[in-house]
A and B are shown apart, each in its own frame.
Chain A
Amino acid sequence: MTPGDHVCAFPVSDEQLWEISAEFVAAGLARNEQVYYFDDGTASSVLGRLADDRVPLAQPLRTGQLAIVPSDVTRQVFRTPVAAVQQMFAERIEASVAEGYAGLRITGQMSYGAARPVGIGLTEYDAGLDAVVRGRPAIALCLYDRRRYTDAQIEEMRDVHRDELSAPSAYDDGLLRITRTGLTTARMAGEVDHSNRPMITRLLETTLDDALRSHSASTDIELNLASLRFMDVAGAVSLVHAAEAFPSTHRLVLTGVRPRIVRVLDRCGAPFAAQLSVREFEPERDRLPLVITADTRDDVLVDAFGSTEPLREAR
């Protein structure tokens, strides 16, 4: 994505919504862009995912590089005439550049607008946004996930966007999302239970297969579990058994494992499996504080979008 882009994506699950949003935010922070997240009940999960991804957040939240626009302000946007909204965004982009940022990134939860609260449709706002972003140092990512938008709305929005973000191949059942992040690495996000447990075995089999077929591949099969919030006993047992069945040259390495998952693994004999390595999630020093209060911010941002009150709960 480059400045002037207006991209859309259609996440199939909440997990994918957090994943795409977090990647978009993180990329903007890394490129010294200012990031505006228009919240409507989703910001805490996106910030949680950013923390899972080890993206330092305390600093950008304090300086205002990352701004969470509160829900009521987000909703107010969709009760404002399109021309006025365009004006607000144009000014905001100028202000970001004036503050020394490379540009502005905009994303968030826009589903309130889909209900046409004042008779103006999402497509009209979208066309307005497109005109503002085009030719300016700004990137907009519009997310239309299948839980919050109807199929008809999704088709309509797909038609009016220039670019669609292509998603990497993944398993996603709405409860568990598995993405292959490399030849011998994968990431699991969400929850593992009786309904999707067989996917673990399948994932490990194919990943191991790929590792064995390639001479240059790592002998460590790495599963990032930072965003795995629940795993049942049989799921843990299948990981332990899979590692024990690995050829002696290979290891299964679990990284970013949350304490509750570590406890399940411990109870299922993980400490006895020589080819299984469990690396606990270690909170970083620059980790997001659990509660961000006004005190942790240098100043409360006041601009055309009102004052972006800091978020109360980060996870």
Chain B
Amino acid sequence: MRVETTRVATPVRLRHAVGFHSSTDDLVGQMVPLVTAALDRGEPVALAVGPTTERALHDALGGSAGLIGLSEPDTVTRGSGQTMAARRARELRELTAGAVPVTVVSEHNSRLDGFDGRYWTEWDAAVNVAMGELPVSLICFYPELPLHLEILDGARRNHPLVLAGGELRHNPEHRCPRDVLRSTPAAAPMLLGPPDRALTYTAWQLHEVRRAVEHLVTEAGSFEESRIEDIVLAVNEVATNAVEHGTSEAQIALWICEEGLVCEVHDGGDLTEPLPGLCAPHPSDPRGRGVWIARQLCDVLHVWRNADGTHVRMHAAS
């Protein structure tokens, strides 16, 4: 598996804006001038919109030249805004190749709302962290009246810029991701049944954690050797973090299911960084690289916190 290295020096930063629309026509009407302006500047434009909007946009622009389609969240990623943000950041980092500015137009998708719409708050906050160093202009469109008020509330607090009357303006309601996540923390994922393997460990028993993962994944039979090694590495990094920065003792639970390995790590600590491993650590920084690499090796890496401590759910497909 390819993992990006992190030595990029880009003075440009993310421009993260929000726009609100009342109907598909209104939405397309606001999108067209943004897309046209970017294309006129010779910049690539990437779309993360539903099929209806995409067709309407193509019609209005008279074709799809210069437009790039971005990946849709799959069923496994659904529910973890930070996982989707990390994945999108990876896509855009490749697209921008470190320097080429890209304009991204995205649209709210109610299928991802979950039960309270918190997904979007988490996603936008994670975007601010994960794409902060990318030369990307990301304009997120939300309906004026979504099903959950949280969606509007989160959108207003997460975007430093707001699109009004065709212009990007400073958003006085904008808050930094840490503040946003303090009032609206990332949600816990759906509960799973009893795990196939669970153990409590300390910093001196990490090899037992590795042995347990290796054993379970090897037994599952569907993983290649190098994939097993990568999964063991990813779990080791998250497990190490729990006992290094969290509490001296932590718990790990492992499940083997159709989609691969699911792993949860729980510690009683309080993470200073609400969404660890989302931005590339500086090459000279000895810390923070473990979770960054683990995020790239896993299909889902979801961190959430509650009164009990810090929790991580990981998902690694074969």
Contacts and interface: CB of A to CB of B under 8 A. Distances in A.
Nearest to A233: B290
B203 interface: yes
Classify chain A's interface size: 20 to 34
A232 B289 contact: no
Contacts of B5: 266-267, 269, 271-272
A272 B5 CA distance: 9
B207 interface: yes
Contact of B230 (A237, A263, A268, A272): A263
Interface string A2-37: 000000000000000000000000000000000000
B206 interface: yes
Nearest to A173: B204
Interface string B200-230: 0001101100100000000000000010011
Given A237-B289, A241-B286, A193 B7 contact: no
B283 interface: yes
Contact of A233 (B203, B206, B229, B237): B237
A110 B204 CA distance: 30
B233 interface: yes
Interface residues of B: mostly helix, strand, loop or mixed? helix
Nearest to A269: B283
B240 A232 contact: yes
B283 A234 contact: no
Contacts of B243: 194
A269 B6 contact: yes
B263 interface: no
Interface in B280-316: 283-284, 286-287, 289-290, 293
A272 B283 contact: yes
A234 B289 contact: yes
B3 interface: yes
A175 B293 CA distance: 24
B6 A194 contact: no
Interface in B1-50: 3, 5-7
Contacts of A260: 226, 229-230, 233
B244 interface: yes
Interface in B236-284: 236-237, 240, 243-244, 283-284
Contacts of B226: 259-260, 263
Classify chain B's interface size: 20 to 34
B289 A233 contact: yes
A267 B293 contact: yes
A107 B206 CA distance: 33
Contacts of A237: 286, 289
Nearest to B232: A230
A278 to B, nearest CB: 14
A232 B6 contact: no
Nearest to A267: B3
Residue in B6, B232, B243, B283 with the greatest tally of chain A CB atoms within 10 Å = B283
B229 to A, nearest CB: 4
B201 to A, nearest CB: 11
Given A232-B240, A267-B293, A271-B5, A195 B286 contact: no
A193 B207 contact: yes
Contacts of B206: 193-195
15 contacts: A191-B207, A193-B236, A194-B206, A194-B244, A195-B204, A195-B206, A230-B232, A233-B289, A234-B286, A237-B286, A260-B226, A263-B226, A267-B5, A269-B6, A271-B5
Given A233-B293, A237-B289, 12 more contacts: A193-B240, A194-B203, A194-B243, A194-B244, A230-B210, A234-B289, A241-B286, A263-B229, A264-B233, A267-B5, A272-B5, A272-B283
Interface of A: 175, 191, 193-195, 230, 232-234, 237-238, 241, 259-260, 263-264, 266-269, 271-272
Which 10 A-B residue pairings sit nearest by Cβ, starting from the closest? A260-B229, A233-B290, A267-B3, A194-B240, A193-B206, A195-B204, A233-B289, A194-B203, A267-B293, A269-B283
